[in-house]
Every structure is written in C-alpha cells, then in structure tokens.
Structure 1
Amino acid sequence: MKKALFLIFSLLILSCSSDDRPDNNQFLPPTSINYQINLNLPQFNPLKFPGNHFVDNTANGSIKGIIIYNIDNTQYSAFELSDPNHTPSSCSTQEIKGITATCNCKDGNAYNIITGQQTSGDGQFALRRYSIRRDGNTLSITN
C-alpha cells in the first residue's frame, strides 16, 4: 500500500507543470521587467477606463516599450511593443489603433493587444506577454 501511495504521489508531482514557460523566440532578446505604475498619476489616466490602452516607452526593461490594455478595470493585458516576428529594428516598433498593434516592416503583421495573438501577416510568434496585476491604484508588471 505504501508503495502504491508513493507511486501515485510521485506521478502527481512529476505531472505538475510550471507557469515559467521558456520564451523560445529567437527574434527578441531576453528581458527583465519588474516595475510599477501608479494609476493616480495623470499620464496613466487612460488606464483607469476599460477599453483604453497606454504605451509605456520608459526605461522599464522592455525592448521597445510595453502596451498596456485595460480590459475591465480588474483585468489588464501587457505585451512587448516590439514585433515578435522581427529582430528589433527601426520598423519593428508597433503602432496601436484600437485593439490592434501593427508592425511597420511592410509585411502586414498585426496583433490583438487583448490576447496577443497574430491577426494578420506572417510569423510563428504571438506578442510577448508580461504578467500584470492590479493592487489598489498600482499596476505591477513583471516577467
């Protein structure tokens, strides 16, 4: 009986997966993001309302910046601003219109800034997602 319980327990432990999935994107170098946004500051006012986004180009550890989208005041999405299917260059910084991020590299790459999925163009990678959490009036963004 002890052997059977040990075997079942071992299988359960080994079958658990981790949220620390490696980012296998050969186009984007590794980043280290760990910063906070105070929603009380006037420059972040758009993030107080669902359906709005903010592009943060500060020295926050990202490659080209971060796209932050307010889904419903409790859920937010945060993605790398650099097109994941191009090596960072002058044309790989994306422009945002509505919920679509579009690459300027003339290949038609476009992505949904809520889900991160590619909506047009060629490529094998979705947007690089960053973890985002709201605590009161503070957004914490990490990877």
Structure 2
Amino acid sequence: MKQFWAIVLLAVILSCSSDSSNRNPYLQEVRFRFELNLNLPLYNDLNNIGNPVYVGNNGVGTRGAFVIKSSLNTFYAFEASCPNHTPNNCSTMTIDGQNVVCGCEGYTYSLFTGQQLDRPDDGNRYYDLLFYNATQSGNTVIISN
C-alpha cells in the first residue's frame, strides 16, 4: 500500500507545471533574428541614448519592433503591436518621444521598461510590451526572439 501512495505522490509531483511565465494571449511569440547596422542612416539614431527606431521589416516580430539604446552598450527591443488586444488595423503603435502609443485605445508604454504607463484601474488584466532580445556586436545590433 505504501508503494501505491508513493507512486500516486510521484505522479502528482511530476504532473505539476513549474511554468510561472505570464504569456500574453493576444500576441504570438514569433521566432526571428534581424541585424541592424548602426552605420546605415536608417539606424543612425540608435547611436545615441534614448532615440528609438521602428523596424518594420517583414519577418520581424508580429508588426515589427521598436529598438532603443538605454545606456552605453545596452539596447532594448519590443514588439510593435499593442499587447492588450489582438493585432488589427490600429494596433501597430507609434513612437512618441521615448514611449510608444497604441492607436486603438491610446495606451502609452515606456521603451525603457516596457511597462504600460496609463494602466486603467478597472480590474481587468493588462499586459506590458513583449520583450525581444537585443545584443550589440561591434556596429551591429541583433534583435531576436
């Protein structure tokens, strides 16, 4: 009988999920890799701290990505589609200084933290920007997921 309960306990332990991630139900996590050459005029703003750039190339995220340099060798990249609803004709956000704004509801997000700055206090669940990896290698910034 002890073996039976040991097997049941082992099955319960193995069936429990340790995934504590907070997946966004609106955005798919698309696999991609894209290189930004900082010598090109298109990405020249990334040579200065706090100047975001929109990368709207096909195959970069769902609706493109926003990239910003936050310190000497640190870059952040975020999905350009608003994280609080499914992608549609108004969900590609626009740059407003060092923030991005959703065209659907007007929600504002920081490009330094990815956090929603004007989260409503209505009891609903809201998501921050979907983060992408951004690493610098010489004069190239590689964004990927």
TM-score bucket of the superposed structures, by smaller chain: 0.7 to 0.9
Q: Once the two structures are aligned, what percentage of the paired residues are identical? A: 34
Give, in whole Å, the separation in 2 of the partners of 1:64 and 1:121.
Answer: 22
Aligned residues of 1:37 and 1:139 also touching (Cα < 8 A): yes
Amino acid at match of 1:94: M
Q: CA RMSD in A?
A: 1.8
> CA offset at residue 73 of structure 1?
3.1
User: What residue number does 1:132 align with?
Assistant: 134
> CA offset at residue 35 of structure 1?
1.7
Give, in whole Å, the separation in 2 of the partners of 1:21 and 1:131.
Answer: 20
> CA offset at residue 22 of structure 1?
4.8
Aligned residues of 1:46 and 1:52 also touching (Cα < 8 A): yes
TM-score by length of 1: 0.79
Matched position secondary structure for 1:35: strand
| Compared CA separation, residues 121 and 52, structure 1 to 2 (3 A) | same
Amino acid at match of 1:125: Y
User: What residue number does 2:94 align with?
Assistant: 95
Moved over 2 A (4+): 20-23
Larger radius of gyration: 2
Give, in whole Å, the separation in 1 of the partners of 2:53 and 2:72.
Answer: 14
Count of matched residue pairs: 123
Matched position secondary structure for 1:119: coil
Aligned residues of 1:108 and 1:121 also touching (Cα < 8 A): no
Query: Can you list the C-alpha shifts for 1:100-137, whole angstroms capped at 9, x where unaligned?
Result: 111111x3311001100000144521100001011110
Query: Can you list the C-alpha shifts for 1:75-116, whole angstroms capped at 9, x where unaligned?
Result: 1110000000010001111111111111111x3311001100
**Which sections of structure 1, spanning at least 5 residues, go unmatched?**
1-19
Matched position secondary structure for 1:131: strand
**Which sections of structure 2, spanning at least 5 residues, go unmatched?**
1-18
Aligned residues of 1:48 and 1:73 also touching (Cα < 8 A): no
